[in-house]
Structure 1
Amino acid sequence: MSDEDKSINNAADNYIKKHALKVEIALKEITPQLFSEFLIERGASQICLSCGSVDLVVPESTDLVMEGDKFIPYASPDENEIAEFGAENFVNYVTYSKIDADRTLTYSNMQYSVHCMNCGFIIHYKAANAIKWYADKKAVKG
């Protein structure tokens, strides 16, 4: 491989990494409260589509945010950990997953889910729609 080819590959890799970080940050801005608000505004069903139960949950994750937008997955922090790192350094967000596991981290390839605690049915929502909704909401607030 020539030096020029290596340079092009490095530039492409850097672009992909920057885009993936941008997507990851946007995904982690969607809190359970925001996601619930999004679903209500869009008229999504608030009952299980399979069994009719109202016992629905949105899986959540927590990360410790370090300098340079580095996210460290973190189980629910206790009071000592919050005191040590500061509450503002933890981000709580809706757990997301890839639609196609073989594709890269892109807006169109990510999803959020809602789980029925009665029958186990899982409803998936494209994350891009919630992210766009939130971006529009932030733009209106200015």
Structure 2
Amino acid sequence: MSVFHLITPEIFNDFLTGVGARINCIACNSDTIYIPTVKADTETNNNEVNKYFVWPSAINAKYDVEPDNAQYMMVCKNCGYVSHYHAVIVIDWYSKNRSAE
């Protein structure tokens, strides 16, 4: 499993809340935010399960999408403003908070 498959929309939302980031648009203050996701098909006990993960995109398209060259995005449905969050920071936050449970 890819490290990117750890970050679900719920975990990304927990990250944003946990670090005190704004969850509304910083350009127009709208709260109609979209987080791009990708569906990953997984299988458990011979049952297919569809799980959604936050879609990582490359910071620099010349290189592969790896945690140090990836970002997660939030898109405002009102004005289209896109906020970017470095994947390493999100993944590190998740790892630290998951181990604290």
TM over 0.5: yes
The alpha-carbon distance between structure 1 residues 106 and 86, as it changes in their structure 2 partners (threshold 3 A), is closer
Alpha-carbon separation, structure 2, partners of 1:104 and 1:93: 18
1:107 Cα shift?
A: 1.4
Give unmatched runs, 5+ long, in structure 2.
none
1:35 Cα shift?
A: 0.2
How high is the TM-score relative to the length of structure 1?
Answer: 0.64
Alpha-carbon separation, structure 2, partners of 1:116 and 1:110: 20
CA RMSD of aligned residues (A): 1.7
**Which residue does 1:36 correspond to in 2?**
13
More strand by share: 2
1:85 Cα shift?
A: 4.7
**Which residue does 1:133 correspond to in 2?**
93
Correspondent of 1:58 among 35, 53, 60: 35
Count of residue correspondences: 99
The secondary structure found in structure 2 opposite 1:118 is coil
How high is the TM-score relative to the length of structure 2?
Answer: 0.88
Alpha-carbon separation, structure 2, partners of 1:49 and 1:127: 20
The secondary structure found in structure 2 opposite 1:132 is helix
**Which residue does 1:91 correspond to in 2?**
51
1:44 Cα shift?
A: 0.7
Alpha-carbon separation, structure 1, partners of 2:72 and 2:14: 14
**Which residue does 2:72 correspond to in 1?**
112
Alpha-carbon separation, structure 1, partners of 2:39 and 2:59: 21
Larger gyration radius, structure 1 or structure 2: 1
1:60 Cα shift?
A: 1.3
Give unmatched runs, 5+ long, in structure 1.
1-21, 67-83
- Runs of 4+, deviation exceeding 6 Å: none
